[in-house]
Amino acid sequence: MKKTSLMRLQKLVRLLSDGEFHSGVFLAGVLGVSRTAVWKLIAKLQTWQIEIYAVRGKGYKIPGGLTLIDRDYLTEQITNKAKLFSQIEVLPTIDSTASYLTRSWQRQPGEGRICVSEHQTAGRGRKGRAWVSPFGANLYFSLGLGLPLGLSALGGLSLAVGIGLTKFLNQYCADKVSLKWPNDLLVKGQKLAGILVEASGDSNDHSFLNIGIGINWDMRVDDGGNIDQPWVNLKSLLTNAIDRNQILALILLELDSILSEYIEQGFESFRHDWASQSAFYGQPVTIHTHNGPISGIEVGIDKSGALKLKTGNGEKIFFSGEVSLRAVYQN
């Protein structure tokens, strides 16, 4: 898409984000385009899954308005306080923040960086699934970091992020969030957030870490219609009024501190929180492996983040990537 078109779309969303009606004539004047061009821009915004009412004689409106991500606020919060990240980019739309960061790193490796987008056209989940990403509804972001550690030293990192994030969100959600091994944040079996960690590099001395996180914030039921499991919005769980920008800044700073702790102390310092944050600790679960299902009681995780199950045939250990976990009652 041309830069001028993207800038016009951004300006149009900002104008409509107040939730009020704005006439086509007014919008055309502010944007410096014809009324037909406004209509085309509106149609484009609708493909980003923005709900827009068009009423003859009144104009266009986004019902309920939108709280857009405030680049200046985030930049101020992150650049002064984060230890590992010095750059933050806020995009209106992108294929995937994860893919974008990988491209950015390949072009120019260097300082830790964060990319946040209002919308993704090809958001990626684990196991090749798509991540539903309507504009302005949720939080989609990726953190990219070069580490002087080989891939073999990164055991448990993705689980450390999951445990740390679950524990953090629980402070704002009355302890309702739990982690389904390895990377699903759930509330009563409904998906709240997902984490996609991609690490590349060599096994000995350096790696590039790409941590992508999607958190459902205030998604409309219709927009989440294609998600193949029950889901829940973070906004509906908060015990105090915190807006979209504030929670995002708090989460990014917490991730900075989780990663710093992991780099300094390794996975062990997160492991002791597993019992309190796990969705199924001490409960019967079934692990689906390539060779069929194995049932048992979840009894914890080992030093590398692998899941331990007590089965009729003794304790068994499972590594993520090759298996998926289900609660027994969900089968």
Catalytic, 126? Answer yes
Binding region for ligand BTN (CB under 6 A) out of 48-56, 91-99, 282-290, 318-326: 91-99
Exactly one of 179, 195, 251, 285 binds ligand BTN (CB under 6 A); which one? Answer: 195
Q: Does 194 bind ligand BTN (CB under 6 A)?
A: yes
CA pair distance 299, 315, nearest whole angstrom? 9
In the complex, minimum distance from the CB of residue 143 to ligand BTN, in angstroms, rounded to a whole number: 10
Q: Does 69 bind ligand BTN (CB under 6 A)?
A: no
Q: Does 217 bind ligand BTN (CB under 6 A)?
A: no
Q: Does 234 bind ligand BTN (CB under 6 A)?
A: no
Inter-residue contact 172 to 239 (CB < 8 Å): yes
Exactly one of 22, 61, 124, 235 binds ligand BTN (CB under 6 A); which one? Answer: 124
112-117 vs 139-147, strand pairing mode: antiparallel
Burial profile 51-73: b = 16 or more Cβ within 10 angstroms, e = fewer:
beeeeeeebbbbeeebebbbeee
Q: Does 91 bind ligand BTN (CB under 6 A)?
A: no
Q: Does 103 bind ligand BTN (CB under 6 A)?
A: no
Catalytic, 61? Answer no
Per this entry, what is the length of the chain? 331
Cα 52 versus chain centre, distance: 25
Q: Does 97 bind ligand BTN (CB under 6 A)?
A: yes
In the complex, minimum distance from the CB of residue 210 to ligand BTN, in angstroms, rounded to a whole number: 9
Q: Does 180 bind ligand BTN (CB under 6 A)?
A: no
Exactly one of 13, 78, 98, 252 binds ligand BTN (CB under 6 A); which one? Answer: 98
CA pair distance 121, 130, nearest whole angstrom? 10
CA pair distance 58, 35, nearest whole angstrom? 14
Binding region for ligand BTN (CB under 6 A) out of 69-77, 194-202, 222-230, 262-270: 194-202
CA pair distance 62, 59, nearest whole angstrom? 11
Nearer to ligand BTN, 164 or 296 (CB): 164
Among all residues, whose Cβ is closest to ligand BTN?
194
Catalytic residue among 8, 61, 124, 126: 126
Nearer to ligand BTN, 105 or 140 (CB): 140
In the complex, minimum distance from the CB of residue 232 to ligand BTN, in angstroms, rounded to a whole number: 14
Cβ neighbours of residue 83 closer than 8 Å, sequence gap 6 or more: 256, 257, 260
Concatenated DSSP letters of 275-305: HHHBSSTTSEEEEEETTEEEEEEEEEE-TTS
Ranges within 138-177 binding ligand BTN (CB under 6 A): 140-142
CA pair distance 105, 96, nearest whole angstrom? 14
CA distance readout (Å), 247 to 110, 260, 265, 288, 304: 27, 20, 26, 35, 30
CA pair distance 116, 96, nearest whole angstrom? 10
Catalytic, 191? Answer yes
Exactly one of 214, 224, 296, 305 binds ligand BTN (CB under 6 A); which one? Answer: 214
In the complex, minimum distance from the CB of residue 324 to ligand BTN, in angstroms, rounded to a whole number: 11
* Segment holding 163, helix H or strand E: helix 157-170
List residues near ligand BTN by CB under 6 A: 96-98, 120, 123-126, 129, 131, 140-142, 183-184, 194-196, 212-214
Would you name the residues annotated as active-site residues? 126, 191, 326
